[in-house]
Amino acid sequence: MENLQYTRNWKQENIVVTIGKTKVGREHFLLAAGPCAAENSKQMAGISAMLKDSPVKLLRGGAFKPRTSPYSFQGLGKDGLELLRQTADILNIPLVTEVTDLKHLELVSRYADALQIGSRNMAAYELLKEVGQQSKPILLKRGMAATTKEFLYAAEYVASGGNEQLILCERGIRSFDPEFRNILDLNAVALLKERTPFPVIVDPSHGSGRSDAVLPLSLAAAAAGADGVMVEIHPSPETALSDGDQSLSMENFRIWTERVSHLAQFLGKTV
């Protein structure tokens, strides 16, 4: 693709991204899970219980939540970061959380092991430039209406700043079908794996908006060549302040970890 520098022509061998003790890329298949947003200490204790003794190697969760409606739960901010950090430390796994604005970058960096740039900020180019100069790994999500070319250019903003510890995340794109929140684009997974050396993971929770679709889409993503899967979980999805419909319950999460781990191992990956 014209003008793109960080392609297979730049590096033939796949990059392994390291987040604390967790690796993703090549033979390392990543399982990441956590709540859409940290809500309170009771909820996070439940998340800790769900993740304890699981193969999940990365905690995901939001403290600053960019929401379509200004009346939706916007996250707990610093209090949410503290809850997420405490939970990650209890589980002894690293934390990835979203930075939504340049003014929050320093604060979020104090708590997070990796910085997420969410779908709504994929085209926030000044933010991309700034995180490209950070030493922490970056998880970049595809914009909900972005072409794969636009997604790759967003990745270039980060990598060209010197930060090559970059994970690309396909999280679904807008569709005409009201049955699903988004449509998970597995074509993009195959294309990104072919054209870039960066790890590519999939978020089937946002990719579908339905908890019953998360497992089959996770299996399909692994079979399509993804380097990992990131899902939302909640000890009581029906009471979640955000994204309860797409969050896995404790029992469904147990089934998910078992099935996805087995497939990844069958494909020659370590979990």
The residue type found at 265 is: Q
Q: Can you read off the two tokens belonging to residue 229?
A: 């899967």
Note the pLDDT tens digit of each residue in 230-258: 999 999 999 999 999 999 999 999 999 99
SS3 248: strand
23, 48, 207, 271 from 59: Cα distances, Å: 13, 10, 19, 15
Confidence of residue 1 (pLDDT cuts 50, 70, 90): low
Note the pTM of the prediction, 2 decimals. Answer: 0.95
> In a 10 Å sphere around its CB, with 0-12 CB exposed, 13-18 middle and 19+ buried, how is residue 34 labelled?
buried
pLDDT of residue 72: 77
- Please name each of the domains of the chain with its CATH number: 17-266 (3.20.20.70)
Confidence of residue 19 (pLDDT cuts 50, 70, 90): very high
From start to end of 161-247, where are the E strands? Answer: 166-170, 200-202, 228-232
Note the pLDDT tens digit of each residue in 60-102: 999 998 777 887 787 899 999 999 999 999 999 999 999 999 9
SS3 262: helix
Note the pLDDT tens digit of each residue in 188-202: 999 999 999 999 999
